[in-house]
Amino acid sequence: MTNDDEVLEKIWLEGGKAHVHRVANLMNISFDYARSILYSLGRRDYIDIGTNEIAVLTHKGKESLEKQGIIPKELNAEEKKKKKKEGS
């Protein structure tokens, strides 16, 4: 598992969103390194991260975790249906 994958997993386990400081503490890495990983994930659309430095998993991030077996496919499928209904 890469650091990117581990960060995504930690965010998922925190309920789908986490502050940079929380990610750094969970992974036992420096704040600057955590920030670097998070902004890299943000540029690739795996998370949304704003000026408040709270990372939120995106659909692409959840799909990545699903492919790795971290998120059960059924759970992600339910979430997709829910979002589709909200959009209607």
Per residue in 48-66, pLDDT tens? 998 999 999 999 999 999 9
pTM: 0.81
Ordered by start, the domain boundaries in the chain are 3-87
pLDDT at 70: 84
pLDDT band at 1 (very low <50, low <70, confident <90, very high): confident
Q: How far is CA 66 from CA 19, 28, 30, 50, 69, in A?
A: 22, 24, 27, 24, 5
Closest CA to 3 of 15, 14, 28: 28
As assigned by CATH, the class of the 3-87 domain is mainly alpha
Strand 54-57 vs strand 47-49: parallel, antiparallel, or unpaired?
antiparallel
